[in-house]
Amino acid sequence: MNKYTKTELVANRQSLMRTFIKPEDDASRLVLIKYMEQISFGLHEFLRKHVGITEQVSLKDLSGRFKNTLISKNPEKKLTDVITEIVEDIAPHAVNVASPYFIGHMTSAIPFFMVHLKTVVAALNQNVVKIETSKVVSILEKQVLAKIHRLVYRRSSDFYDRYVQNIRTTLGCFVEDGTLANITALWVARNSLLAPKNGFTGVEQEGIQAAYSAYNINRCVVIVSRLGHYSIKKAGGLLGIGNQNIIAVDVDADNRMDLDCLKKTIRKIKHDGTGIMAVVGIAGTTETGAIDPLPQIGAICAENRIYFHVDAAWGGPVLMSEKYSHLLEGIDSADSVTIDGHKQFYMPMSCGMVFFKDPSIMDAVKYHANYVNRFGSVDLGIKSLAGSREASSLILDSALKIMGSQGYALLIEHGIETNRRFAEEIERRDNFELITRPELNILTYRICPSDIKRRLAEADSEQICIINKELNKTNRAVQRRQRAAGKSFVSRTKLRTGNNPGKEIVVFRCVIMNPMTDIKILNEILDEQEEIYFSLSPLLNIQHLTQNG
Ligand SMILES: Cc1ncc(COP(=O)(O)O)c(C=O)c1O
């Protein structure tokens, strides 16, 4: 018997029935209320102690605690014991993504009301695959999709009156995450390109080989900048075109898709038996936050009659800010747009969305079944990749009502403006080098003392590689130390400087989405990195490089 279990528990019909109705007894009810109060109103408190993957208890130690693979025949614990265990034994070893010192990833604090909304969704347990298990929630989902569609495409009121509740069309689809949103968009793009014609019933039915011969092509490609999210590659694999046919074009000095490279790539492959399934523009690249030149990419796609998808998983909600929505100019020229709810709509994990300019285009991926999703029904499952789905739309719709576009705008503006101040601070300090300038709320930088900066400026490419190798080791070590110390967390990645594959450098990656993260905290994070840098022995190599020229 462990520390939580007081009496022996048995699985019998009577106690089983009770679990569907109410807590075990009055005492356990009180414990549950206590914890639910803590979870609902004090979430940040009970996560506050740790940031990042500290080494206080190592992953190795933790995995040692989770090795029992047997399911006990009789119940092991009451609900109150299970919740106590989660609060006391699991939560302290989870990552405090809500800390304002956690600036490493696209996961951050969420408004506390999101926990309540998520609870409501679980309590209602609607399944929006079909109207028979969701009724009004399916109708609400269509309305929420139209609201975000309107934010992106800004069509007329007449347009939305016509389509908001149209049962034959859809303005988009809720999915699990950004990955599935991108895959859905490219699924639609593939089926639109390799559509039924002259006795060929379409790629969805006949498969990729038959499609290539019907269209007299030998491959299909998707073009994206080399900073594209890896979900685009997954789509290449899943959709049968092969992920080697995701063509990565170079970026310019600001990490935006290089338009000349795009044009050249299209020109080169257009007449060699290649079908261009889509060009993907990115509105907020994962690693640098850069926004591709969407109006120009849109024009190139229109001219060449290529499907244009915008991956705005990260940047989409910037449209809520009147001050910065111009950064996404041209997004409305896309055939489809990905936006994540669990990113800058601050929803709990996980919610992705994909929107389509043409309300009928998702017909290319529709499926029916006799028991559900029948012809002519409102069932949202007819056109979604997922079957059963939770009602994420209920959370987003409520959040939009609670926050208003102005509430979201304040969050977006705080992220962008704090990031700019952070960039200035990095540039002001001798030991740091700003690598990618902030366009949104993401930037990258590294430790690179000013004497080494000077050496780099005069070095030939061989020397640059040697120096960068040492800097890479140092930056990697500093990032790991900081993460292990657990006070703050900044992520790291490797970036190419220019488009030279030989010059990949390790950089710190900072994502500012927590409204509590301010310049004071960011300065503390830089101070800590500097301290770690001075205390680390691998730095001797850098100093050696500097001294010996
Ligand atoms: C630009 C972009 N697209 C797509 C994704 C994939 O999103 P998810 O992790 O929700 O699948 C990400 C995630 O970081 C992203 O940054």
CB 179 within 8 A of CB 106: no
Distance CA 225, CA 185 (A): 17
Q: List, in sequence order, the alpha helices (H) in 259-391.
A: 259-270, 294-304
Chain mean pLDDT for the chain: 92
Q: For residue 549, what pLDDT is reported?
A: 45
Ligand 1 pocket, Cβ-based, cut-off 6 angstroms: 106, 177-179, 182, 229, 231, 282, 284, 286, 311, 313-314, 340, 352
Nearest CA-CA partner of 361 in 210, 195, 140, 246: 195
Of 340, 346, 350, 513, which is best to mutate to test ligand 1, by the most ligand atoms within 8 angstroms of its C-beta?
Answer: 340
Mean pLDDT of 65-80: 91
CA distances from 167 to 43, 79, 140, 156 (A): 40, 42, 13, 19
Protein residue closest via CA to atom 14 of ligand 1? 286
The better pLDDT of the pair 413, 373 is held by 413
- Global pTM reads 0.95
Does 127-390 match 405-548 in CATH topology?
A: no
Tens-place pLDDT, residues 84-126: 888 888 888 888 899 999 999 999 999 989 999 999 999 999 9
Q: For residue 545, what pLDDT is reported?
A: 64
Q: How many CB atoms lie within 10 A of CB 447?
A: 26
Q: How buried is residue 537: exposed, middle or buried, by Cβ count under 10 Å (0-12/13-18/19+)?
A: exposed
Judge whether residue 295 has pLDDT over 80: yes
Q: For residue 52, what pLDDT is reported?
A: 60
Ligand 1 center to 67 CA (angstroms):
31
Ligand 1 center to 536 CA (angstroms):
34
Ligand 1 center to 427 CA (angstroms):
29
Mean pLDDT of 498-503: 61
pLDDT category of residue 497 using cuts at 50, 70 and 90 = confident
Distance CA 177, CA 349 (A): 8
Q: For residue 1, what pLDDT is reported?
A: 43
**Domain at 405-548, CATH from 1.10.10.10, 1.10.101.10, 3.90.1150.10, 3.40.50.360:** 3.90.1150.10
pLDDT category of residue 49 using cuts at 50, 70 and 90 = low
Protein residue closest via CA to atom 6 of ligand 1? 178
Q: For residue 85, what pLDDT is reported?
A: 86
Distance CA 14, CA 10 (A): 10
Q: For residue 375, what pLDDT is reported?
A: 79
Token pair of 214, please? 């019907």
Q: Which residue has the tokens 């959709």?
A: 239
Closest atom of ligand 1 to CA, residue 282: 1
Ligand 1 center to 180 CA (angstroms):
9
Judge whether residue 153 has pLDDT over 50: yes
Ligand 1 center to 408 CA (angstroms):
20
Judge whether residue 41 has pLDDT over 90: no
> Parallel, antiparallel, or unpaired: how do β-strands 274-282 and 308-311 relate?
parallel
Q: Write out 379-439 in H/E/C secondary structure.
A: CHHHHCCCCCCCCHHHHHHHHHHHHHHHHHHHHHHHHHHHHHHHHHHHHHCCCEEEEECCC
CATH 3.40.225.10 fits 127-390, yes or no: no
Tell me the domain boundaries of the chain: 13-96, 127-390, 405-548
DSSP for 97-153, written as a single string: TTSTTB-SSS-----THHHHHHHHHHHH---TTSGGGTTHHHHHHHHHHHHHHHHHH
